[in-house]
Structure 1
Amino acid sequence: MKAAFAQRDAEKSYGLDGDLLTPVPWTLPVLRLAWNAAKRDVAPWWDECSKEAYSAGLDQLARALKNFTDSRKGKRKGRRVGFPRFKKRGKARDSFRYTTGAYGPATDLYVKLPRIGRVKVGEPMGALTSRLADGRERLGGATVSRTAGRWFVSFTVGADRDVPERPTRRQRTGGTVGVDLGVKHLAVLSTGETVANPKRHAAALRTLRRASRAYARSKPGSAGRRQRAAGLATIHARVANQRRDGLHKLTTRLARSHDVIVVEDLHVAGMVRNRRLARAVSDTGMAEIRRQLTYKTVWYGSRLVVADRWYPSSKTCSGCGWRNPSLTLADRTFACQSCGLVIDRDLNAAINLRHLVAASTSETVNARGADHKTRMSGRVAGKREPGTAKAGQTRSAGAQVPAA
């Protein structure tokens, strides 16, 4: 494929007509035709596996090629996307997807997968099977993946969910809340509440270093090296699970207890370029907090408002509006020279985020969890809050059931 693509570029440089250019298998139907024509020669064992494994790989390849071409033509936003590369075994996430065939929960403790059969799971699926039986939910696909030596089956489920038109007062204790995310504290709310940063990776760093040294000193290809690799992966998976669990509890509580949640459009990609902050910023999961709030605010009838990227929340006095453009990251206390207010830097930023909704002219727009950004007028040229940008894109997730 790369050879055909290079030949096509060369022919374009010669000024050939589009009808005479070398065809490149780019779309999913063309890739399937090419695979069906070559599979008996390049992979004589192909019929031993489910066809869905190959179809899922071709679908991902087609998406990657489309992103590559759109990035080259300027149709895709974000950083430039390179040509797709082969996944290396042991270095990439092992997964494949079912979209057709006889798959799904067989009983509360077993799932059925094409070409594999019945597999016992480690967690009961009574809640899922009951909804599928009475038609409240329907299967849309199944993804089988492996993480740290454990196999998981993740079902994509479609369900009709009642989304409230306006926030309900059940379980709600506050109206609008500003949330300032950081490293010292995971989150500081405008109500004065401080959510501690558990620093899961930092707590496990000593164990990770010991396991990494043992893996590096083992003989390549030996059974001991595989055992040490599995142990190292288990530690990483535990840290990720602990972090994810804490973020889910925080975002669920915020979406249930407040009508409007205001967060910043953090530039996480720029923050991790700082060598001294990269590890701490990555350990907090700021982008994951915004991703979870995006869909949970829709579930619970609240709103998510994303402040403008350059809004100086930390440099503005929450009492009178005076700005301190010389405030640095080392200054943890904000002292206003106009009204004399002395307040914690993060709390001051959270209060400013809460005030932002009241001052915004687009407050009546019901974001319903979408990435609604408030644009502030009168920006100061060259004055911006350090370390802010788009935190990540929204994506839906299915229920994940570990296989026994």
Structure 2
Amino acid sequence: MKKFRPQPGFVVQAYRFALDPNAVQERALRSHCGAARAAYNWAVGWVTASWWQRRAEESYGIAEAGLTQWRPWSLPALRKAFNETKHTDPRFAAWWEENSKEAYNTGLANAAAAFDNYTKSKQGKRHGKRMGTPRFKSKRKARLSCRFTTGAIRVDTGGRHVTLPRLGTIRTHEPTVKLLARTQAGTARILSATVRHERGRWYVAFQAEVKRDLERVARPDVAVGIDLGVKTLAVMADSTGEIRTVANPGHYDRARKQLRRASRIVSRRQGPDRRTGQKPSKRWEKANAARNRVHHRVANLRTDALHKLTTSVAAEYGTVVIEDLNVAGMLRNRRLARRIADAGFAEIRRQLTYKTRQRHATHLVAADRWYPSSKTCSGCGGVKAKLPLHVRTYECDTCGLVIDRDDNAALNLAALAAACLTGTGVAGDQDTTEVVSKPRGADHKTRATRTRRKASAGRAGGATLPHQRQEEARDRTHAEALTLR
């Protein structure tokens, strides 16, 4: 599938609206999402069946020329094979006509993308954590989602209904005038629609090509450095020396007492048991729904607060400097994981990335992960060798400056904007400009401990753990499939 590229002056933007389907429409929505999951599982089983068949044939000594052929996993190949199978396969023959073809295409496209990601990860062409082979989706755990790319996809003239293929006209919980006005004026074109069940509600997200003019920021010549934290969500220091603090709302901490009470009520009801096949009672379902509403409210409050923060920052400053934080590593700290996850560091950077690029054309700079923003003196530039986390006040040994630790880090981040815009920075991520600085070797990782060195020596000597041996055996089975493609 070719990647869509918008025309000059247009951007691809999503408009999401909550739905209010009736009982019949909700059953149809669940049926389409279940069809997408079934098609995904069929594709995963169809492709991997040839892998295990070849492995079994090799164990019998069959030559390479006589082995079963590899099955392709491209979207056209999966779609062709599925269309040939759905009429006779007992898993689909009785009910596949009840849903739109887009439901099955959603599952096949997701399976093709999963196999492509696995291939690129094995070949070293994909960043991030190594991905394993695609696995089957559980009916109990899989998220309900379905994407429509063809057919009747529109926002109706009343501003309170949307039309989707095979699902018909569905009322929305909120007005759709933002997208309706643009489509009627000819400044927006709907490309696709995705229905999804999330936080106890059904949502539809329209992907549209929108003509958007860049808005001028309030202070285009001012740069701001943002230091994120737990006790204080953000400390923003601009190039004029002004420092502003944004308190951490702590939505989850505020709701913990209510969550404890709701969870206690759920634990006293008769819940489901997969081992014995016990069904949950009506009282358990009612109590569980009440507990979920608390979680959903916390998530909605967090999302609203982060959007308001990032929108105000992107609309005010001409240059925004943020940190490239290792959020996944920070979450391993069991003492701070809950507060870090509640703050939403990664979500702040994600929102700033697209808002500065598509709405205001603001310069977004990401400081290098090993840049010592907290250890560097914002007055004289001296760098401390050590600065423990519990020390919240920075005291410079050279010039005697005494300043709050977070304020000092924000001032140093704001100073990096001048280095980047004058050409001394080094290009980094595709969405940001990454500034690399190496004062006193501060960009080097912490030295390995004795335990880690012994474990590395053991692995170098050939000692492997049981789960590592299983992964190596599975990788050898799939390696040939990747080399022949």
Q: What TM-score, normalized by structure 1, do the two folds share?
A: 0.87
Equivalent in 84, 103, 106 of residue 56 of structure 1: 106
Report how far residue 173 of structure 1 moved.
7.8
Q: Which amino acid aligns with 1:312?
A: P
Alpha-carbon distance between aligned partners in 1 of 2:438 and 2:423, rounded to the nearest angstrom = 12
Contact residue 141 and residue 155 of structure 1 kept, 8 A: yes
Q: Separation in 1 of the partners of 2:65 and 2:112?
A: 21
CA distance 1:68–1:383, change in 2 (3 Å) = closer
Return 213-222 or 109-118, whichever deviates more: 213-222
Report the structure, 1 or 2, having the larger helix content.
Answer: 2
Report the equivalent of 2:326: 267
SS at match of 2:86: helix
Alpha carbons 2:371, 2:443 under 8 Å: kept = no
2:289 is equivalent to residue 239 of structure 1: no
Instruction: Give the letter for the 1:243 counterpart.
Output: R
Q: How much does 1:227 deviate?
A: 2.2
2:393 corresponds, among 333, 341, 347, to 333
Q: Which has the larger radius of gyration?
A: 2
> Could you say what the CA RMSD is over the residues aligned between the two structures, in angstroms?
2.5
CA distance in 1, matches of 2:443, 2:306: 34
Alignment of 1:113-192 (within 5 A): 113-163=164-214, 168=216, 171-172=218-219, 175-190=222-237, 191-192=242-243
Paired letter, 2:96: W
% of aligned pairs identical?
A: 48
What is the DSSP-based 3-state SS (H/G/I as helix, E as strand, rest coil) of the residue aligned with 1:227? helix
Paired residues of 1:28 and 1:58 also in contact (CA < 8 A):
yes
| Correspondence for 1:6 among 42, 52, 65 | 52
Query: Which blocks of at least 5 consecutive residues in structure 2 are unaligned?
Result: 1-44, 273-278, 447-485
User: 1:384 offset after TM fit, Å?
Assistant: 6.2
Return the offset for 1:174. Answer: 6.3
Contact map agreement 1:318 1:348 (CA 8 A) in 2: yes
Matched, 1:380 2:441: yes
1:203 aligned onto 2:254? yes
Q: Provide closer, same or farther for how the CA distance between residues 251 and 174 of structure 1 changes in structure 2, counting only shifts above 3 A.
A: farther
* Structure 1 pair 328–18 and aligned structure 2 pair: CA distance change class (3 A): farther
The question of whether the paired residues in 2 share the 8 Å contact of 1:302 and 1:368 is answered with no
Alignment partner for residue 314 of structure 1, among 374, 393, 403?
A: 374
Q: Offset of 1:211 from its aligned partner?
A: 2.2
Q: Which amino acid aligns with 1:47?
A: E
Instruction: Go from structure 1 to structure 2 and tell me whether the alpha carbon gap of 1:364 and 1:332 turns closer, same or farther (over 3 Å shift).
Output: closer
Q: Is the 8 A contact 1:111 1:120 kept in 2?
A: yes
Change (3 A) 1:26 1:381: same
| 1:29 matched to 2:76 | yes
Paired with 1:128 and 1:311, the residues of 2 have a C-alpha distance of 42
Is contact 1:148-1:237 (8 Å) kept? yes
Q: What are the Cα deviations for residues 241-293 of structure 1, in whole angstroms up to 9, with x where unaligned?
A: 11111111111111111110101100000000111111110000000110111
| Structure 1 partner of 2:411 | 351
CA apart distance, 1:369: 9.3
1:84 paired to 2:131: no
Instruction: Tell me the matched-pair count.
Output: 381
CA contact (8 A) 1:305 1:367 kept: no
More displaced stretch, 243-252 vs 92-101: 92-101
* 2:116 alignment partner in structure 1: 66
- How far residue 172 of structure 1 moved from its aligned partner, in angstroms, is 2.6
Does 2:334 align with 1:288?
no
Segment drifting more, 127-136 vs 209-218: 209-218
Higher relative contact order (CA 8 A, sep 6+): 1
Match of 1:371? Answer: 432
CA–CA distance in structure 1, aligned partners of residues 264 and 81 of structure 2: 45
The answer (yes or no) to whether the contact 1:303–1:366 under 8 Å persists in 2 is no
Equivalence for 1:103: 153
- Residue 85 of structure 1, CA deviation: 2.3
Report the CA distance between 1:366 and its aligned residue. 10
C-alpha deviations, 1:98-156, integer Å up to 9, x for none? 11111221231111122221111111112211211221100011111112331111111
Distance 1:79 1:19 in 2: 36
Structure 1 counterpart of 2:462: none
Partner of 1:394: none
Return the alpha-carbon distance in structure 2 between the equivalents of residues 18 and 66 of structure 1: 26
Q: State whether residues 137 and 160 of structure 1, in contact with CA within 8 Å, keep that contact through their aligned partners in structure 2.
A: yes
Aligned-partner SS, 1:115: coil
Task: After TM superposition, give the deviation of residue 8 of structure 1 in Å.
Answer: 4.0
Unaligned regions of 5+ residues in structure 1, if any? 386-404
